[in-house]
Structure 1
Amino acid sequence: MKLMDTQELSAFDINHHRYVARQIETGRATSQTVESSHEMLLAEVERLTYLVSPAKLKQPAHGVPVEASTFGPIIAVLAKQPRNASVVVEYLGRKSRPGSMGSYRGYHDELRIEPNGREPRTVADLLKDLRRFRRNGITGYKGGDYPVTDNTGVWVAEYGENSHQHVSGVRVDGGVVVIMTEERDW
């Protein structure tokens, strides 16, 4: 296992987080400021955990799939990957960039990741989006708001489509994090 070079990571600035805490206390903090601070704190905790004990992360070997088919396990596996690693999703036998996310047409209370992203996405980008859905829930394909739990299913599908491509796990191929799918019927 390659040890992470601490020089590659941005310096942790505790004063910034103290400033954000004061902004929260006075009611002047924006949700974007709080969310950004939260993401930086999570990244720092993950970095320190890695430096203290790489074995605690239990990262899968390259190419070895880790089963993760629901929200909680997917976030847990992604959180163990390098934040700047590129992410792709499998969709009907091909790999593509993850696009927007929302309600899956087949099950309105489950999450859909579109396989047509135009911009490269990193693990940090995907984790930020997934954590936002965990906090805010999913607005159903035909309306209605649904809470997101660790057991919420995740699908890869075009908007409005029932692809039957359910997320089955995560593996690392050549430094790229691959979200794997398998066909599932309703």
Structure 2
Amino acid sequence: MTQKADDPQDWGRGESPEQRADRRWGDLLQELRVAQTGVQILFGFLLAVVFQPRFAGLSDTDRHIYLVTVLLGAATTGALIGPVSFHRLLTGQRLKPQTVDWASRLTVVGLILLLCTMASALLLILRVVVADSLALWLVVGMVLWFIVCWFVLPFWARAISRPTDN
């Protein structure tokens, strides 16, 4: 099978769809290892907070923020571990390219949920440390920073690296 030089999927590589799926799966696993470790540590700390003496003194608002944060952390954990389940349940079904596509989408959902979890956790912590209005502005600033680092820069790099049509 001849590969088309104008197909952006094939620039710089002479891979079959299966080889490309194998490579992409390996790359995705490495990315997930980093994200899952951070999420598991964050989620573990969130679960422990409720057993701390100061928890009883939190306001109703802070308790609600905590509840949302824990639920977001659980959802993030599910989304970032989901690709492992996809792979395990679909192994041997000759669906590797589709599995990688679905796992990649689920990973992006996990990153968005992680952004929300981080924002919520920061809001809870900063409300205890500084004034509520300042806490909100600091969280907004951090969310914008995460969006730039996690989404804007990769999309920008992708846009400027595409060869122009001649």
Shared fold, TM over 0.5: no
TM-score computed with the length of structure 1 as normaliser: 0.27
TM-score with structure 2 length normalisation?
A: 0.30
Q: Which has the higher helix share?
A: 2
Q: Which has the larger radius of gyration?
A: 2
Looking at secondary structure, tell me which structure has more strand per residue: 1
